[in-house]
Chains A and B, each alone.
Chain A
Amino acid sequence: MIPERFINASVIAGLLAVPLWALMADEIFTITLTTRAVILALAAVGLNIALGMGGLVSFGHAVFFGIGGYAMGILAFHAQTFAPLELGPLTIEGTKSMPVIWLVATVASALTALVIGLLSLRTTGVHFIMITLAFGQLFFYFTISWSAYGGEDGLSIYVRNSFPDLNTLVPIQFLGLCFAALCLALLLQWRLRNSAFGLALNAARQTPQRVETVGLNPMRLKLLAFVISGAITGLAGALFADLNRFVSPTMFSWQLSGELIILIIIGGVGRLMGPVIGAAIFVTLEHWLGGLTDFWHIWLGVILLVIVLFGRGGVIGLLTGKEGPHV
């Protein structure tokens, strides 16, 4: 069986090799596909902190993805229309600067995660799943009826936002930015996992009463995990919006929440590289099966069923021969 460390290194190498090859072969479309996979992986890395480490089956992570997306959409919209955002006494100028947008997206998602977490973590199990799902719908319907920013039709941003000293319109440069964000998030998750917080969170997933008995509050641990998780997924949402130069209520859809969970399951729950492998496979399937048949979701459903019923631990579980954490 293959050690997980080796798999992790191969994944990073693969992520570097594909765009390099595409750059040399001048395959712009492959670079775009890779960017999509990298951003979805980033969103799923965020979810994996809540799901894999904290055992929180959030079926509403699209909320944070959408908030990140709309943070980008709203700021860029006010910048491209040269009309500042009036919030009561507050006047906020729009911006096209990625670092500022990312900061806003992350903070807004973290705050939303704090509120949703405080309410949802009062419950466990099926209740938690349904409540997070319902919060997703709340935001979905809200954005649909929010006509100031396009309502159901969404918002188009005409020019990709900018990053100091880079030309983000060049696909490979934008991919580089997304890749850097993904690596930072992976590093963050790795550090978290080995920290005192990670140790306690991992125990809180398995046996909350033990964690209480040693004097820690399992609910606070999970809430913090949920907030960090939401913030990362929010950042991914801002990048996704910039990739498409478009935001719409579908960024909040429950299907997207489901797909983020699927990415993790395909790769391996709670594994560092699980979301990355999952996203790579998902985007490849979407492109390849989608090219073969209009009904590729049937095959995605069948693959998912097989993984759930027979293949616990996803791809990494299969390759390492070790089951991952149970959620």
Chain B
Amino acid sequence: MSAILIVEQVLNGLQFGIMLFLMAAGLTLIFGVMGLINLAHGSLYMVGAFAAAWVAGATGSFLLALAAALAAAAAAGALVEMLVIRRLYKAAHLDQVLATFALILIFSEGTRYVFGSFPLFLDIPDCLSGPVTLPGGIQYPLYRLVLIGAGILVALGLWWLTTRTRVGIQIRAGENDREMIAALGINITRLYTLVFAIGAALAGLAGALVGAIQSVQVGMGEPVLILAFVVIVIGGIGSIRGAFIGALLVGLTDTLGGIFLPELFKLFMEGGAATQTGSALAAMAVYILMGFVLIWRPSGLFGSRA
């Protein structure tokens, strides 16, 4: 166990956490403003990844692929919002869960129908591939560093959007009082579509960025979606700051747990059993983390009230 390995794994954890944040930010924004629990958020992640892979395959340009991912996910989000989601804002949570579950079925099978069951691949562009040498002589893939940087930029952008711009002020007003902003003459229907599309675009971006280091396939969104749920439960539903902290916690716990828990158990167990116990525990680590946070604070770290 070397310092290099530790730094590497911490960076991997950060990168994973930042990508989770892109998912969780949209989820928590949509819940905070519209009170909607959206299971189909993972489908928008998948839409972004497929759009990027397809455009990259056709044009060879990674930037165009990213733009396509943002556009496709935002458009899919806006379309779904206008056709289905806006009928659900006042519905019971159960109805929201079921309707968005139905959307997952439609999106997943629809994508399988168009692209088939085999995974697509999205290549890291040449200028971003290969390792860089960090201070201390650590070799680390440049692309992953770029992911971390891009995620932090998006987080800053979101912070700027929600606190410093007119739309952001409207969004935050919408969280507090729907009637109020309707009374101010703001078109709430359009605002909701916009918020949903922003959340969708973030998910699509995450899908495209991660698509370059994993394979792009049907069903890729749901495991990430559920982890994003864990993130916002930990951070407090509706809080973007909570989503950020929660995402980093979950990303680090999951990555470091997978590496270090088996090692930890080797200190007082024999090899095979230690690896077995350690990796089983690591698989559950983020959920155990969530359990402890809930015992301590049922409404999450930055949640107002459950």
Binding site for B on A (CB under 8 A): 51, 57, 59, 119, 122-127, 129-131, 133-135, 137-138, 141-142, 144-148, 254, 258, 261-262, 265, 269, 295-298, 300-302, 304-305, 307-309, 326-327
The reply to whether B99 and A309 contact each other, CB–CB distance below 8 Å, is yes
Q: A127-B299, A138-B287 are in contact. Are A304 and B101 (CB under 8 A)?
A: yes
The 0/1 profile, CB within 8 Å of A marked 1, for residues 216-235 of chain B is 00000010001001101100
Tell me which residues across on chain B come within 8 A of A265, comparing CB atoms. Answer: 94, 98
Partner of B109, one of A134, A301, A308: A301
Residues of A within 8 A of B284 (CB): 138, 141-142
Shortest Cβ distance from A261 into B: residue:
B98
* Chain A residues whose C-beta falls within 8 Å of the C-beta of B279 in the assembled complex: 145
Which residue of A126, A137, A301 is within 8 Å of B31 (Cβ)?
A126
Q: A130-B233, A138-B284, A308-B95 are in contact. Are A297 and B226 (CB under 8 A)?
A: no
- Please, what's the 1-or-0 string for B54-78, where 1 marks a CB less than 8 Å from any CB in chain A? 0000000000000000000000000
B105 CB contact (under 8 Å) in A119, A141, A300: A300
CB atoms of B294 and A145 under 8 A apart: no
Contacts of A258 in B (CB 8 A): 101
Q: Identify B283's interface contact among A133, A145, A298, CB under 8 A.
A: A145
Residue among A57, A119, A122, A144 making CB contact with B97, cutoff 8 Å: A57
Q: Verify B110–A298 contact, CB threshold 8 A.
A: yes
Q: In the complex, which residue of chain A has the Cβ closest to the Cβ of B84?
A: A305
Contact B226 A133 (CB under 8 A): yes
CB distance from A160 to the nearest CB of B (A): 29
Q: Are B230 and A302 touching (Cβ within 8 A)?
A: no
Asked whether A298 lies within 8 Å of B306 as measured between CB atoms, the reply is no
| CA A51 to CA B94, docked complex, whole Å | 10
Chain B minimum-CB-distance residue to A269: B94
Q: Are the CB atoms of A301 and B229 closer together than 8 Å?
A: no
B95→A295 contact, CB < 8 A: no
Given A126-B237, A145-B283, A295-B112, A119:B102 Cβ within 8 A: no
Chain A residues contacting B176 (CB-CB under 8 Å) are: none
Q: How many residues of B contact A (CB 8 A)?
A: 45
Which 8 A-B residue pairings sit nearest by Cβ, starting from the closest? A301-B105, A138-B287, A141-B283, A304-B102, A301-B106, A301-B102, A298-B109, A305-B102
B290/A57 in contact, CB under 8 A: no
For B299, list chain A residues within 8 Å (CB).
Answer: 123, 127
Residues of B within 8 A of A297 (CB): 105-106, 108-109
Q: Which residues of B contact A122 (CB under 8 A)?
A: 294-295, 298, 306
CA distance A262 to B39 in the complex (A): 14
For B156, list chain A residues within 8 Å (CB): none
Residue of A nearest to B288 (CB): A138
A131-B233, A295-B112, A304-B101 known; A125+B294 contact, CB < 8 A: no
**How long is the Cα–Cα vector from A327 to B93 in the complex, in angstroms?**
8
13 further A-B contacts with Cβ under 8 Å, apart from A119-B294, A119-B295, A301-B105, are: A51-B94, A119-B291, A122-B306, A123-B306, A130-B230, A131-B294, A135-B287, A141-B284, A145-B283, A261-B97, A295-B110, A295-B113, A301-B102
Whole-angstrom distance between the alpha carbons of A144 and B279 in the complex?
Answer: 10
Identify which of residues 267-295 in chain B touch chain A, using a CB-to-CB cut-off of 8 Å: 276, 279-280, 282-284, 287-288, 290-291, 294-295
Tell me the B241-262 residues at the A interface (CB within 8 Å): none
Closest to A125 in B: B93
* Nearest residue, chain B, Cβ from A304: B102
Q: Give chain B residues whose Cβ lies under 8 Å from the Cβ of A269.
A: 94
> Which residues of A sit under 8 angstroms from B105, Cβ to Cβ?
297-298, 300-301, 304
In the complex, what distance in Å separates the CA atom of A83 from the CA atom of B87? Answer: 57
Report Cα–Cα, A138/B289, bound state, in Å: 11
Residues in A whose Cβ lies below 8 Å from that of B283? 141-142, 144-145
Given A119-B294, A327-B92: A126 and B84 interface contact (C-beta under 8 Å): no
CB-defined A-B contacts under 8 Å, sample of 5? A123-B298, A258-B101, A265-B94, A301-B105, A304-B99
**A129 pairs with B287, CB closer than 8 A:** no
- Residue pair A129, B290 in contact (C-beta under 8 Å): no
Q: Is the CB of A254 within 8 A of B226?
A: yes
Q: Is B51 an interface residue (CB 8 A)?
A: no
- Min CB distance B84 to A, Å, is 7
Taking CB atoms, residues of chain B closer than 8 Å to A137 are: 226, 230, 287
For A258, give the chain B residue with the smallest CB separation: B101
Complex interface: chain B residues within 8 A of A300 (CB): 102, 105
Q: Known: A129-B97, A134-B290, A144-B283. Contact between A309 and B109, CB under 8 A?
A: no
CB–CB B84/A131 < 8 A: no
Closest B residue by C-beta to A51:
B94
* B43: min CB distance to chain A, Å: 11
Contact A308:B229 (CB < 8 A) given known A57-B97, A134-B287, A144-B283: no
Q: With A129-B37, A131-B294, A135-B287 as known contacts, state yes or no: A262 contacts B97, CB within 8 Å.
A: no
Known A142-B284, A298-B109, A298-B113; contact A127-B237, beta-carbon cutoff 8 A: yes
Cβ of B53 under 8 Å from chain A: no
Is B298 a contact partner of A134 (Cβ separation < 8 A)?
Answer: no
CB distance from B96 to the nearest CB of A (A): 9
With A and B bound together, what is the CA distance between A326 and B94 in angstroms? 10
The reply to whether A309 and B87 form a contact with Cβ atoms under 8 Å apart is yes
Measured between beta carbons, the chain B residues less than 8 angstroms from A298 are 105-106, 109-110, 113
B104 within 8 A of A: yes
Within the complex, what minimum Cβ distance (angstroms) separates B61 from chain A?
32
B290 touching A131, Cβ below 8 Å: yes
Chain A CB within 8 A of B103 CB: yes
Q: Which chain B positions have C-beta within 8 A of A145?
A: 276, 279-280, 282-283
